[in-house]
Structure 1
Amino acid sequence: MGVFTHEMEATSPVPTARLFKAFVLDSDTLFPKVAPYAIKGVEYLQGSGGPGSIRKVNFAEGWGFEYLKEKVDDIDQDNLLYTYTVIESDLFNNIIEKINYEIKFIEAPNGGTICKITTKFYSVGDIEINEEAIKDSLQKRAQVFKAVEEYLLANPDS
């Protein structure tokens, strides 16, 4: 199995605790609401959102893939750290075995948030992962991030 690691930082003017809550604790209902062009819905196959839970994310038609199943590895509210693993998706095409995400929410000096995101793509066997496909997936993820951020900024009381 090969591993391709991608690290990035995303900044947001949204306060850290609020952004963590939106992206981790409320994502099941918030993502389909603010990005229906991307996410059709989320359903739990096991658990109710805590560590060990498995959920299926269904994507909107034309998004490029139909679904993914992810397992929540850890939600550390004290340290604002969220880790989960995508364990199945029609995106994989027998090339990717799993994708592991670690997202750390850090308070920025201006009162906003810095999100440090480490993504590890695990390939099936010795297959090389196409970097263009990864970039496309990460760009789609960034679109949803922006939609959530815009919603939070436009609705400070939500």
Structure 2
Amino acid sequence: MVVGSISHDIETPLEAKRLWNAFVKDGHNLLPKQAPELFASVTFLQGEGGVGSIKQINFTPANKDFSYVKEKVEEVDEEKFVYRYSHVEGGLLGKKVSSATYEFKYTPKPEGGCICSSVVHFDSLPGVPQDEEKVKEIKEMSTALFKKIEAYLIANPNLYC
């Protein structure tokens, strides 16, 4: 078993609050609309987005690794722009990992814009090595998705203010 983490930072000209509103508060609507090639739907099974809420994300066949994942919201800190959740079903659980927790933080920069930091903490299943090529692929895909949403928000400056 490998206990590990993967971190990734993206700098953006967008304000932290705007990204927070888009990704955290309305991501369940925004992602399927702006990236329908990846996200079939996002549905709250329990709660409305606060701590303890559970949502199911259904992916299109473009995601070859799994068709859905259920996430449980663990932390929502609107003052510090920190959002943390764990996978409770689907995804790579039981296939490659025994647990996975994700944390996103939007840190405002003094000159404007912010840094979007993400960290994934995971415990892999026994005998499953960390695949550096897969880590690189995941980072590239998440950056591409982020940049797509960033471009949409820049083109629509009155959204999520």
CA shift in 2, pair 1:4/1:83, >3 Å:
same
Identity of matched residues, %: 36
The DSSP-based 3-state class of the residue aligned with 1:105 is strand
1:32 and 2:59 are equivalent in the alignment: no
Q: Is residue 76 of structure 1 aligned with residue 61 of structure 2?
A: no
How many residues are matched?
158
Aligned to 1:43: 43
Structure 2 unaligned spans of 5+: none
Q: TM-score, normalised by structure 1?
A: 0.90
Deviation, 1:2, is: 2.5
**Aligned partners of 1:55 and 1:140: how far apart in 2?**
21
Return closer, same or farther for 1:142/1:89 CA change in 2, 3 Å cut-off.
Answer: farther
2:105 is the counterpart of 1:104: yes
User: Structure 2 length normalisation: TM-score?
Assistant: 0.89
RMSD over aligned CA atoms reads: 1.7
Range that drifts further, 126-135 or 143-152: 126-135
Contact 2:87 2:93 survives alignment (8 Å):
no
- In 2, Cα distance between the equivalents of 1:138 and 1:86? 18
Find runs of 4+ consecutive structure 1 residues off by over 6 angstroms.
none
Query: What amino acid sits opposite 1:135 in the alignment?
Result: K
- Corresponding residue of 1:131: 132
